[in-house]
Amino acid sequence: MKLREGLYLVGSGSWGFDLSDELDCHVYLLDGGSEAALVDAGGGRNMDLILRNIEQDGVPLDRVRTLLLTHGHADHAAGAAGLKEALGLRVFAAQELVESLAVGDGWGISLGPAKAAGLYPADFTFRPCAVDVELKDGHTIPVGDCTLTVIETPGHSAGHLSYLMEKDGIRYLFGGDAVFFGGRIVLQNIPDCDLQAYLRTIKRLSELAVDVFLPGHLCFSLRDGQRHLNAAMEALTRLGVPPNLT
């Protein structure tokens, strides 16, 4: 689904637009011309639907070379191994997640608690995935004629990253599960969810002057996206916490 020139939504589940498997987060495709990148991988239960969407949007599969993960939760990262294998992708993720992704559970993934809570079926599997490039704050990633900058945005989970891109005077934020439409957030009862880190993340995101707001679920905004980040920040200025989605 084309969002803007060179930007597509190729995966999205039941917390989104049902473009692919119900457990998939939003999977964005950024086409930089000579090469393209996916942001997040979805849950890996029906990769073929994502591949079909890429092709239907007119981007050749062999142009897709990179997978950028926002964080380790299964709806974002369990599909990484399959996509890496199918497309020969290089997988980029936060340094903190490398060991957990290599085993498919643990710190930053929390699959056990998520299954126990009924968020995933008992037979759900997270295929281990090797990370090729370990990311830290401020790293830049070229994708054809686009460049993304890594912003560490912990709080929702450990090793959570956002990716900021400026192109033709427009600022894009691939924000993962940090802040959602309307300024809502997802605090969860899992060991690596960190409220104080989350509050620092919201403050930082409130200073970005984003135009195109591309979160990991629910609605996105193609103009004036900063208002969602500002809405989260307004709750903090009242000594409150933004409304929680869960």
CB of 155 to Zn ion, least distance (A): 11
CB of 73 to Zn ion, least distance (A): 4
CB of 42 to Zn ion, least distance (A): 12
By beta-carbon proximity to Zn ion, the closer residue of 25 and 50 is 25
Options 6-14, 104-112, 136-144, 172-180: segment touching Zn ion (CB under 5 A): 172-180
User: What 3-state DSSP class applies to 207?
Assistant: coil
Which strands, in side-by-side order, build the sheet including 90-94? 2-4, 7-11, 27-31, 36-39, 64-68, 90-94, 133-135
By beta-carbon proximity to Zn ion, the closer residue of 45 and 73 is 73
- DSSP one-letter string for 143-201: ETTEEEEEEE--SSSTT-EEEEEEETTEEEEEEETS--GGG-B---SSTT--HHHHHHH
Asked if 177 touches Zn ion (CB under 5 A), the answer is yes
Asked if 217 touches Zn ion (CB under 5 A), the answer is no
By beta-carbon proximity to Zn ion, the closer residue of 65 and 115 is 115
CB of 158 to Zn ion, least distance (A): 11
Strand-pairing partners, residue 38, are: 29, 67
* Range 33-92, binding Zn ion (CB under 5 A): 73
Q: Which residues have CB under 8 Å from 237's CB, separation 6+? A: none
Residues of this chain that interact with Zn ion (CB under 5 A) are 73, 177
